[in-house]
Amino acid sequence: MPESGPSLPCPDRASIRRFSLSMDTTPLAVFLFGPSLERRTRRACAAALGERGKELGILPGFSSSRKRRSRKTVSKAAPDEGSESPARESPKPERYRAGTYRLRAFLRTALRWVALVHAWYILTTACLLLVYRRVDPPITVLMAYRSAVDGWKLSPQRNVRLAKVPSLVRRMVVSVEDGKFYSHHGVDFDAIQYARQVNRQVGRPLYGGSTLSMQTARTLFLVPFKNYLRKYLELIATVEMELILPKERILEIYLSWAEWGKGVFGIEAAARKFYGKSLARLDLDQTARLVALLSSPIRYTPETLHKNGILRTRYQYLVGKYGAVDGEQ
């Protein structure tokens, strides 16, 4: 019988306990108890490492391996002395964010200024219209523009009272300038749609589809530039006018301040300028000529309106509708 090898010492209970404690059971515990135990374990390890780092004079949570890794990263990123260093560029996300911030700031400022201009225009026109309910305007923006910018010599303007204006004049003006004057609320959408079609065919904003209220608003507050910005401001003033002034007052201001020629404002001033007599003394033919002239009062006069097809058609319509010319020329 062969001899057996040397017998191994039998481990005692303390050795078995030390061996079992030295085994890493963390993965098994994580598998059994889930991520919550893993988070608690990590926090406990971090706290223990922090205490150990304080004893060794190292900042908590910053191990020497991290120091070595950061040194290697810096040494790899640092260029050689003889090599040319590449141009340093700012990250694109930062530039994008800065551009977006500047754009938003610009838009906020622009919207703020637009709101302030709107508020100023609306309040100013509303206050003036409240005054014009009882008081005649001393001057209009259009009259001031013709005098200061165009340099025209202004004829004496005369305000009229609607009750003293002949009914024939009122009916003629409404029939050719705004047939729906007493039924709409300042804006005739059918006329605006027709004007858009005409302007599209012509290629420029030639016609505006303006009502008597819109014409009165632009005479009072706006300069004579044909563009869509003026039309927008005209609409704002027209809505305010319809809310503040009655129809009779709007027609009265229109007859007193409408442009009837170079430097001529108001139908009473036009009657005295072209015929040398008051409005009440005009005959039907003279009245028809003055009313027909409203479509183009700068280029033509009551005696030359026959040179324009539109003015001639308007004159013939008025004469045919309101009676034959009585022969007094």
- For residue 294, name the pLDDT band (cuts at 50, 70, 90): very high
Query: Is residue 227 classed exposed, middle or buried when 0-12, 13-18 and 19+ CB atoms within 10 A define those classes?
Result: exposed
Residue of higher predicted confidence among 34 and 137: 137
For residue 94, the one-letter residue type is E
Q: For all residues of the chain together, what is the average pLDDT?
A: 80
Tokens of 296: 């183009």
- For residue 52, name the pLDDT band (cuts at 50, 70, 90): low
User: Is the distance from CB of 294 to CB of 173 less than 8 angstroms?
Assistant: yes
pLDDT for position 3: 47
Residue 265 φ then ψ, to 5°: -130, 125
* Top mean-pLDDT range of 92-106, 115-129, 180-194, 307-321: 115-129
pLDDT for position 76: 47
**Widest CA span in the chain:** 164
Using DSSP, state whether 261 is helix, strand or coil.
strand
Region for 209 from its dihedrals, namely left if φ exceeds 0, alpha if ψ lies in -120 to 50, beta otherwise: left
Please tell me the distance from the alpha carbon of residue 186 to that of residue 145, in angstroms, as a whole number.
Answer: 25
pLDDT for position 251: 97
| Global model pTM greater than 0.75 | no
Q: What's the rounded mean pLDDT across residues 254-269?
A: 96
pLDDT for position 197: 80
Within a 10 A sphere around the Cβ of 4, how many other Cβ atoms? Answer: 6
Residue 24 φ then ψ, to 5°: -85, 105
Within a 10 A sphere around the Cβ of 136, how many other Cβ atoms? Answer: 14
* 113-322 maps to CATH 1.20.120.1200: no
pLDDT for position 327: 44
